[in-house]
Amino acid sequence: MLRLKTSVEEESSREIQQLRQAVAQDDALLLDEMLSQEIYKRVINCRGGWGIAGTPLRMAASKGHLRCLQVLLAHSAHVDCVDVKAQTPLFTAVCGKYLECVLALLKAGADPNGSMANNCSPVLTAAREGDAVVLRELLRHGAEVNSRSKVLLWSSGASVSSGPLYLSAVYGHMECFKVLLAFGADPDYNCTDGGLLSRIKQPKTVLEMCLRHGCGVEYVRLLIDFGANVYLPTLIIEKSTKQNEAVELLLRERGTPKSLASQCRLAIRGQLKKADRIQCVDQLAMPRRLIDYLEYRNMPVMIL
Protein backbone atom coordinates (compact mmCIF):
# COMPACT_ATOMS: atom_id res chain seq x y z
CA MET A 1 0.00 0.00 0.00
CA LEU A 2 3.02 2.32 -0.18
CA ARG A 3 2.69 5.33 -2.48
CA LEU A 4 4.57 8.50 -3.31
CA LYS A 5 3.46 11.80 -1.80
CA THR A 6 1.16 13.98 -3.89
CA SER A 7 2.32 17.41 -5.00
CA VAL A 8 -0.03 19.00 -2.45
CA GLU A 9 1.48 16.91 0.34
CA GLU A 10 5.02 17.78 -0.78
CA GLU A 11 4.27 21.52 -0.87
CA SER A 12 2.24 21.61 2.34
CA SER A 13 4.12 19.24 4.64
CA ARG A 14 4.48 21.99 7.26
CA GLU A 15 0.73 22.66 7.41
CA ILE A 16 -0.04 18.93 7.52
CA GLN A 17 2.38 18.48 10.41
CA GLN A 18 0.83 21.40 12.31
CA LEU A 19 -2.63 19.88 11.96
CA ARG A 20 -1.33 16.53 13.18
CA GLN A 21 0.39 18.19 16.13
CA ALA A 22 -2.85 19.90 17.20
CA VAL A 23 -4.61 16.52 17.02
CA ALA A 24 -1.80 14.78 18.91
CA GLN A 25 -2.13 17.36 21.71
CA ASP A 26 -5.94 16.99 21.65
CA ASP A 27 -6.29 20.75 21.14
CA ALA A 28 -9.70 20.93 19.53
CA LEU A 29 -9.98 24.74 19.80
CA LEU A 30 -6.68 25.31 18.00
CA LEU A 31 -7.60 22.72 15.39
CA ASP A 32 -10.93 24.42 14.71
CA GLU A 33 -9.22 27.79 14.39
CA MET A 34 -6.64 26.40 11.98
CA LEU A 35 -9.26 24.73 9.80
CA SER A 36 -11.08 28.04 9.37
CA GLN A 37 -8.10 29.07 7.22
CA GLU A 38 -7.92 27.88 3.63
CA ILE A 39 -4.22 26.97 3.85
CA TYR A 40 -5.04 24.28 6.41
CA LYS A 41 -8.45 23.30 5.11
CA ARG A 42 -7.00 22.28 1.75
CA VAL A 43 -4.72 19.69 3.39
CA ILE A 44 -7.27 18.25 5.83
CA ASN A 45 -7.34 14.96 3.93
CA CYS A 46 -3.60 14.73 3.20
CA ARG A 47 -1.46 12.04 4.77
CA GLY A 48 1.76 12.73 6.60
CA GLY A 49 3.96 11.85 9.54
CA TRP A 50 6.52 9.19 10.32
CA GLY A 51 5.70 5.48 10.48
CA ILE A 52 2.16 4.79 9.30
CA ALA A 53 1.35 7.94 7.36
CA GLY A 54 -2.26 8.97 7.81
CA THR A 55 -4.66 11.89 7.78
CA PRO A 56 -5.38 14.02 10.86
CA LEU A 57 -8.70 12.16 11.19
CA ARG A 58 -6.88 8.85 11.30
CA MET A 59 -4.63 10.18 14.07
CA ALA A 60 -7.59 11.46 16.10
CA ALA A 61 -9.32 8.08 15.81
CA SER A 62 -6.19 6.12 16.72
CA LYS A 63 -5.67 8.18 19.88
CA GLY A 64 -9.31 8.37 20.92
CA HIS A 65 -9.37 12.18 20.73
CA LEU A 66 -13.12 12.58 20.27
CA ARG A 67 -13.27 16.40 20.28
CA CYS A 68 -10.63 16.70 17.55
CA LEU A 69 -12.34 13.96 15.58
CA GLN A 70 -15.64 15.84 15.74
CA VAL A 71 -13.96 19.08 14.65
CA LEU A 72 -12.38 17.35 11.65
CA LEU A 73 -15.68 15.76 10.64
CA ALA A 74 -17.43 19.15 10.97
CA HIS A 75 -14.86 20.57 8.55
CA SER A 76 -15.67 17.82 6.01
CA ALA A 77 -12.76 15.44 6.58
CA HIS A 78 -13.17 12.30 4.46
CA VAL A 79 -14.54 9.75 6.89
CA ASP A 80 -13.16 6.71 5.06
CA CYS A 81 -9.68 7.94 4.10
CA VAL A 82 -7.18 5.08 4.34
CA ASP A 83 -3.60 5.08 5.55
CA VAL A 84 -0.69 3.25 3.91
CA LYS A 85 -1.97 -0.04 5.36
CA ALA A 86 -5.52 0.48 3.98
CA GLN A 87 -6.84 1.08 7.49
CA THR A 88 -9.73 3.53 7.84
CA PRO A 89 -10.20 5.85 10.85
CA LEU A 90 -13.01 3.54 12.01
CA PHE A 91 -10.70 0.54 11.92
CA THR A 92 -8.11 2.31 14.08
CA ALA A 93 -10.80 3.47 16.54
CA VAL A 94 -12.02 -0.12 16.87
CA CYS A 95 -8.44 -1.31 17.44
CA GLY A 96 -8.11 1.23 20.26
CA LYS A 97 -11.53 0.31 21.72
CA TYR A 98 -12.63 3.94 21.57
CA LEU A 99 -16.40 3.48 21.60
CA GLU A 100 -17.33 7.18 21.39
CA CYS A 101 -15.06 7.68 18.38
CA VAL A 102 -16.53 4.57 16.75
CA LEU A 103 -20.06 5.92 17.25
CA ALA A 104 -19.13 9.36 15.91
CA LEU A 105 -17.56 7.88 12.78
CA LEU A 106 -20.50 5.55 12.15
CA LYS A 107 -22.92 8.47 12.59
CA ALA A 108 -20.86 10.40 10.02
CA GLY A 109 -21.34 7.60 7.50
CA ALA A 110 -18.16 5.54 7.90
CA ASP A 111 -18.26 2.16 6.18
CA PRO A 112 -18.66 -0.34 9.05
CA ASN A 113 -16.74 -2.91 7.01
CA GLY A 114 -13.63 -0.76 6.63
CA SER A 115 -11.59 -0.90 3.42
CA MET A 116 -11.78 -3.89 1.08
CA ALA A 117 -8.03 -3.48 0.51
CA ASN A 118 -7.35 -4.37 4.14
CA ASN A 119 -7.00 -8.06 4.99
CA CYS A 120 -8.75 -7.46 8.30
CA SER A 121 -11.94 -5.57 9.18
CA PRO A 122 -13.47 -3.75 12.17
CA VAL A 123 -15.76 -6.72 12.91
CA LEU A 124 -12.91 -9.24 12.86
CA THR A 125 -10.88 -6.99 15.15
CA ALA A 126 -13.71 -6.46 17.67
CA ALA A 127 -14.46 -10.20 17.73
CA ARG A 128 -10.81 -11.10 18.31
CA GLU A 129 -10.41 -8.50 21.06
CA GLY A 130 -13.66 -9.40 22.80
CA ASP A 131 -15.23 -5.95 22.46
CA ALA A 132 -18.91 -6.93 22.39
CA VAL A 133 -20.23 -3.36 22.72
CA VAL A 134 -18.29 -2.07 19.71
CA LEU A 135 -19.10 -5.27 17.79
CA ARG A 136 -22.84 -4.77 18.35
CA GLU A 137 -22.67 -1.16 17.12
CA LEU A 138 -20.82 -2.19 13.96
CA LEU A 139 -23.42 -4.85 13.20
CA ARG A 140 -26.30 -2.47 13.98
CA HIS A 141 -24.87 -0.16 11.31
CA GLY A 142 -24.79 -2.90 8.68
CA ALA A 143 -21.35 -4.51 9.01
CA GLU A 144 -20.92 -7.93 7.41
CA VAL A 145 -21.34 -10.59 10.09
CA ASN A 146 -19.62 -13.33 8.10
CA SER A 147 -15.97 -13.55 7.07
CA ARG A 148 -14.48 -10.75 4.95
CA SER A 149 -10.88 -11.73 5.58
CA LYS A 150 -8.77 -12.76 2.61
CA VAL A 151 -6.46 -14.67 4.92
CA LEU A 152 -6.69 -18.33 5.92
CA LEU A 153 -5.56 -19.53 9.35
CA TRP A 154 -3.91 -22.83 10.23
CA SER A 155 -5.39 -24.35 13.34
CA SER A 156 -4.87 -27.88 14.68
CA GLY A 157 -3.33 -28.85 11.36
CA ALA A 158 -6.35 -27.65 9.38
CA SER A 159 -6.78 -24.60 7.18
CA VAL A 160 -9.84 -22.63 8.30
CA SER A 161 -11.61 -19.40 7.41
CA SER A 162 -10.70 -16.76 9.97
CA GLY A 163 -14.26 -15.51 10.42
CA PRO A 164 -15.36 -13.46 13.44
CA LEU A 165 -17.42 -16.30 14.94
CA TYR A 166 -14.41 -18.61 14.87
CA LEU A 167 -12.13 -15.94 16.37
CA SER A 168 -14.52 -15.10 19.21
CA ALA A 169 -14.78 -18.81 20.09
CA VAL A 170 -11.07 -19.68 20.14
CA TYR A 171 -10.26 -16.51 22.11
CA GLY A 172 -13.02 -17.32 24.62
CA HIS A 173 -15.20 -14.26 24.03
CA MET A 174 -18.67 -15.65 24.73
CA GLU A 175 -20.50 -12.30 24.59
CA CYS A 176 -19.09 -11.59 21.13
CA PHE A 177 -20.03 -15.13 20.10
CA LYS A 178 -23.63 -14.50 21.16
CA VAL A 179 -23.80 -11.11 19.45
CA LEU A 180 -22.54 -12.52 16.15
CA LEU A 181 -25.06 -15.36 16.16
CA ALA A 182 -27.89 -12.98 17.12
CA PHE A 183 -27.04 -10.81 14.09
CA GLY A 184 -27.20 -13.76 11.71
CA ALA A 185 -23.68 -15.19 11.55
CA ASP A 186 -23.62 -18.44 9.59
CA PRO A 187 -23.28 -21.11 12.35
CA ASP A 188 -21.55 -23.60 10.06
CA TYR A 189 -18.64 -21.95 8.24
CA ASN A 190 -19.21 -18.28 9.19
CA CYS A 191 -18.29 -17.60 5.57
CA THR A 192 -20.42 -17.05 2.47
CA ASP A 193 -17.48 -16.47 0.13
CA GLY A 194 -17.39 -19.52 -2.14
CA GLY A 195 -14.00 -18.50 -3.50
CA LEU A 196 -12.45 -18.47 -0.04
CA LEU A 197 -13.99 -21.79 0.95
CA SER A 198 -12.85 -23.38 -2.32
CA ARG A 199 -9.25 -22.66 -1.34
CA ILE A 200 -9.65 -24.91 1.69
CA LYS A 201 -9.15 -28.60 0.88
CA GLN A 202 -11.37 -29.84 3.67
CA PRO A 203 -13.24 -26.90 5.24
CA LYS A 204 -13.91 -27.21 8.95
CA THR A 205 -17.08 -25.90 10.52
CA VAL A 206 -17.09 -23.59 13.53
CA LEU A 207 -18.68 -26.44 15.48
CA GLU A 208 -15.80 -28.78 14.65
CA MET A 209 -13.19 -26.18 15.54
CA CYS A 210 -14.93 -25.54 18.88
CA LEU A 211 -14.61 -29.26 19.60
CA ARG A 212 -10.95 -29.31 18.54
CA HIS A 213 -10.10 -26.32 20.71
CA GLY A 214 -12.15 -27.51 23.69
CA CYS A 215 -14.14 -24.28 23.69
CA GLY A 216 -16.74 -25.72 26.01
CA VAL A 217 -20.21 -27.15 25.81
CA GLU A 218 -21.85 -23.70 26.03
CA TYR A 219 -20.42 -22.74 22.61
CA VAL A 220 -21.62 -26.00 21.08
CA ARG A 221 -25.06 -25.52 22.65
CA LEU A 222 -25.40 -22.05 21.13
CA LEU A 223 -24.31 -23.21 17.67
CA ILE A 224 -26.91 -25.99 17.79
CA ASP A 225 -29.64 -23.61 18.97
CA PHE A 226 -28.82 -21.22 16.11
CA GLY A 227 -29.15 -23.97 13.51
CA ALA A 228 -25.67 -25.42 13.00
CA ASN A 229 -25.66 -28.66 11.01
CA VAL A 230 -24.82 -31.27 13.66
CA TYR A 231 -24.03 -33.90 11.01
CA LEU A 232 -21.16 -31.96 9.41
CA PRO A 233 -18.35 -32.24 12.00
CA THR A 234 -15.96 -35.19 12.00
CA LEU A 235 -15.73 -36.17 15.65
CA ILE A 236 -12.27 -36.56 17.14
CA ILE A 237 -12.56 -37.87 20.68
CA GLU A 238 -9.77 -36.78 23.04
CA LYS A 239 -9.20 -37.25 26.75
CA SER A 240 -10.77 -33.96 27.72
CA THR A 241 -13.74 -33.76 30.07
CA LYS A 242 -14.82 -30.42 28.60
CA GLN A 243 -14.67 -31.76 25.04
CA ASN A 244 -16.37 -35.04 25.93
CA GLU A 245 -19.36 -33.16 27.37
CA ALA A 246 -19.67 -31.21 24.12
CA VAL A 247 -19.36 -34.39 22.03
CA GLU A 248 -22.02 -36.12 24.12
CA LEU A 249 -24.34 -33.15 23.57
CA LEU A 250 -23.68 -33.25 19.82
CA LEU A 251 -24.38 -37.00 19.64
CA ARG A 252 -27.66 -36.55 21.52
CA GLU A 253 -28.68 -33.80 19.11
CA ARG A 254 -27.97 -36.06 16.16
CA GLY A 255 -30.48 -38.56 17.50
CA THR A 256 -33.14 -36.06 18.60
CA PRO A 257 -35.19 -33.91 16.17
CA LYS A 258 -35.49 -30.22 16.98
CA SER A 259 -38.74 -29.11 18.58
CA LEU A 260 -41.36 -27.47 16.37
CA ALA A 261 -40.91 -24.18 18.26
CA SER A 262 -37.17 -24.24 17.59
CA GLN A 263 -37.68 -25.01 13.89
CA CYS A 264 -40.20 -22.17 13.58
CA ARG A 265 -37.75 -19.75 15.19
CA LEU A 266 -34.97 -20.75 12.80
CA ALA A 267 -37.34 -20.46 9.82
CA ILE A 268 -38.46 -16.94 10.78
CA ARG A 269 -34.91 -15.81 11.46
CA GLY A 270 -33.82 -17.34 8.15
CA GLN A 271 -36.38 -15.29 6.23
CA LEU A 272 -35.39 -12.12 8.06
CA LYS A 273 -31.77 -12.80 7.22
CA LYS A 274 -32.58 -13.27 3.53
CA ALA A 275 -34.39 -9.92 3.58
CA ASP A 276 -31.41 -8.33 5.36
CA ARG A 277 -33.65 -7.49 8.31
CA ILE A 278 -32.26 -9.77 11.02
CA GLN A 279 -31.46 -6.68 13.10
CA CYS A 280 -35.15 -5.68 13.02
CA VAL A 281 -36.58 -8.58 15.05
CA ASP A 282 -37.37 -6.16 17.88
CA GLN A 283 -39.67 -4.20 15.56
CA LEU A 284 -41.95 -7.10 14.59
CA ALA A 285 -45.65 -6.69 15.38
CA MET A 286 -45.96 -9.60 17.79
CA PRO A 287 -46.09 -10.17 21.54
CA ARG A 288 -42.97 -9.32 23.54
CA ARG A 289 -42.64 -12.94 24.64
CA LEU A 290 -42.35 -14.15 21.05
CA ILE A 291 -39.83 -11.44 20.17
CA ASP A 292 -37.73 -12.47 23.17
CA TYR A 293 -37.88 -16.06 21.93
CA LEU A 294 -36.77 -15.07 18.42
CA GLU A 295 -33.86 -13.14 19.92
CA TYR A 296 -32.89 -15.94 22.33
CA ARG A 297 -33.48 -13.71 25.33
CA ASN A 298 -34.04 -14.99 28.85
CA MET A 299 -32.79 -18.40 27.77
CA PRO A 300 -29.95 -19.65 29.98
CA VAL A 301 -27.38 -21.80 28.21
CA MET A 302 -27.87 -25.38 29.41
CA ILE A 303 -24.70 -27.25 30.25
CA LEU A 304 -25.59 -30.93 30.13
41 domain residue, yes or no = yes
90 domain residue, yes or no = yes
- Using a 10 angstrom Cβ sphere, with 0-12 exposed, 13-18 middle and 19 or more buried, the burial of residue 261 is exposed
Distance of CA 251 to the CA centre of its chain: 32
pLDDT in tens, 67-78: 999 999 999 999
Which amino acid type is present at position 18?
A: Q
H/E stretch holding 159 reads strand 158-161
pLDDT of residue 48: 78
171 domain residue, yes or no = no
106 domain residue, yes or no = yes
- Tally Cβ neighbours within 10 Å of residue 288: 9
**Shortest CA distance to 302 belongs to which of 187, 229, 221, 200?**
221
264 domain residue, yes or no = no
Q: Where are the alpha helices (DSSP H) in 147-259?
A: 164-170, 174-182, 194-198, 206-213, 217-225, 241-254
Helix axes 174-182, 217-225, angle to 10 degrees: 10
- Tally Cβ neighbours within 10 Å of residue 99: 16
Q: Can you give the residue range of the structural domain that contains 42?
A: 1-118
Task: Read off φ and ψ for residue 155, nearest 5 degrees.
Answer: -140, 125
Q: Where are the alpha helices (DSSP H) in the chain?
A: 7-11, 13-24, 28-35, 38-41, 56-63, 66-74, 89-95, 99-107, 122-129, 132-140, 164-170, 174-182, 194-198, 206-213, 217-225, 241-254, 260-274, 288-294
Are the C-beta atoms of 92 and 62 separated by less than 8 Å? yes
pLDDT in tens, 96-124: 999 999 999 999 999 999 998 888 899 99
Number of domains present in the structure of the chain: 1
**Shortest CA distance to 216 belongs to which of 156, 256, 172, 178?**
172
88 domain residue, yes or no = yes
Look at residue 157 and tell me whether its pLDDT is greater than 50. no
pLDDT in tens, 128-145: 999 999 999 999 999 999
8 domain residue, yes or no = yes
CATH number at residue 82: 1.25.40.20
Look at residue 6 and tell me whether its pLDDT is greater than 90. no
pLDDT in tens, 254-277: 888 888 999 999 999 999 988 988
1 domain residue, yes or no = yes
Separation CA 191–CA 180 (nearest Å) = 12
